[in-house]
Amino acid sequence: MEQLVKRRYWWFVLSLVMILPGLYFLLLHPLITTGQPRFGLRPSIDFSGGALWEVRFAERAPGELGSSEVGAAFAAAGFDNAQVQMSQVDLDGTPIVTALVRTRPLNEQTPLQDRQAVEAALNEQIGAAAIERLESVGPTVSQESTRSAVLAVVGASLMILLYLTWAFRKAPHPVRYGMCAIISMVHDVVIIIGVAAIFSTFNPRFEVDALFLTALLTILSFSVHDTIVVFDRVRENLLARQPDQEFGDLVNHSIVQTLPRSINTQMTTFFTLTALLFFGGETIQNFVLILLIGLIVGTYSSIFNAAQILVVWEHREWKNWFGRGRRDHEKPATV
C-alpha cells in the first residue's frame, strides 16, 4: 500500500490502456469501415432526429423474413432508405420475429396517416404486423437535445471546478484540487464514451440516448464524490504535516486511510446495480450497464489518477518527462 503513489506512472499507463480501445472504435474503426470521418457512436433519435419503429411479425418464423423485405415495405409507404435491424424475442417460449426500423421523421401535419400507410404496406407485402413502438423526433428538437447535452456536461464540470476551488480555499494552491478532479472526470468521460462506441459496434440495439446522458452525469458525481473524500483527507494531513514529510508520502497515506471507505461505499452501489442488471428488465439494461462500468472507472480514477496527478503537479514532474529538467540540472553553474 505504501507504493501506491510511487507507482503512479503505472496507473497512468493502465488508464491509457483502458482508453485506447475505446478511441479506436470511436474514431478509427468507423473511418476504416466506411471511409468517412465520423464518430463510432450510434445516437438515438433524441440526438439524431428521425422515427424509430419497432414492428412485430407474429406469423413469420425466425429466418423467414429479411431486412430487405421490411425495407421495401417501408419504401412503398414513402419512407425510403429505412435502416432495418432484424431480431427475435421469446414470448411465452415462442420465438417472435421483430424489426427495429429507423426512418425519416413523421410528417408533423399527418403523423397518423404516415403510420397507417406503413401498417397497410407491411400487412399487404409481409403479413400480419403490429407496430409495438413508434417514436418520432424532428431535426430541430434533436439539435436542441444535442446542444443541451453538451451544455449539461460542460456546465457540470465548470461548477465542480469552482466548488472544489472554493471548498479547498484554505489549502495551498486550491485551484489544483479542482483541476485534478476535472482531469480525472475527463478520464472517466473518455473511457465511458469509448465503451459506448464499442457497444454500438457490436450491439445493434445499443444507442446513445437521454438515459446514457443521465448515466454519464451520475458517473461524474460518483467520481467526484470519491475524489473529494481523498482530497479532504490530504488537506487534513497537510495541517498536521511533519517538516520532513514528503508530499508524495502524505498523499499516499491519505489514500490508504480513505481506501476502505471508498471501496465499501462503492461496493454497496455495485451490488445494487448488478441486481438491476440481471433482474431489472431489458429497457434499462444498457443504462445500468453503463452505470456499473462508470462506477468502477470512477472509483479507479479517484484513487489512482486524481490524487496522483496532485503529486505530479506539486513536483512539476512534467519538466523531466522529455529530459529538459535533467539537462538544465546538468548545466554547469555560471559565476
Dump the DSSP string for 88-126.
EEEETTEEEEEEEEEESPPPSS-HHHHHHHHHHHHHHHT
For residue 60, what pLDDT is reported?
82
Is 270 in the same domain as 184?
Answer: yes
Query: Which of 137, 157, 187 is the last residue in one of the domains?
Result: 137
The three-class DSSP label of residue 205 is coil
Task: Report the pLDDT value the prediction gives residue 141, as an integer from 0 to 100.
Answer: 67
> Do 149 and 63 sit in the same domain of this protein?
no
Any domain includes 212: yes
156 plus 208 within the same structural domain:
yes
**Do 116 and 207 belong to one domain?**
no
Assigned domain for 35 exists: no
Flag residues of the chain having pLDDT under 70.
Answer: 1-2, 36, 139-142, 322-335
3-state SS class at 216: helix
Same domain flag for 217 and 312: yes
Residue 197 structural domain: 8-30+141-317
Residue 88 belongs to domain with CATH number: 3.30.70.380
Q: Residue 77: its pLDDT value, please?
A: 92
Residue-level pLDDT at 13: 95
Bridge partners (DSSP) listed for residue 83: 102
Say how many domains are in the chain.
2
The answer to whether position 226 is within a domain reads: yes
103 and 237 in a single domain? The answer is no
Q: Which residue has the cell 441486481?
A: 275
Residues 155 and 109 in one domain: no
- Tell me if 188 is assigned to some domain: yes
Q: For position 10, what pLDDT does the model report? A: 93
Residue 27 one-letter amino acid: L
Q: Are residues 85 and 222 in the same domain?
A: no
Residue at a domain's end among 119, 137, 155: 137
Domain termination site, one of 118, 137, 156 = 137
Hey, is 40 helix, strand or coil? Answer: coil
How far apart, in whole angstroms, are the C-alpha atoms of residue 260 and residue 266? 10
Q: Is 6 strand, coil or helix?
A: coil
Structural domain includes residue 326 = no
- Is 327 among the domain residues? no
Shared-domain flag, residues 25 and 93? no
Question: Do 20 and 65 sit in the same domain of this protein?
Answer: no
pLDDT of the residue at 330: 45
Residue 119 belongs to a domain? yes
CATH code, domain carrying 199: 1.20.1640.10
Name the DSSP class of 27: I
What does the alpha-carbon distance between residue 7 and residue 212 come to, in Å, rounded to a whole number? Answer: 34
Is residue 304, in this structure, part of any structural domain at all? yes
Both 204 and 291 in one domain: the answer is: yes
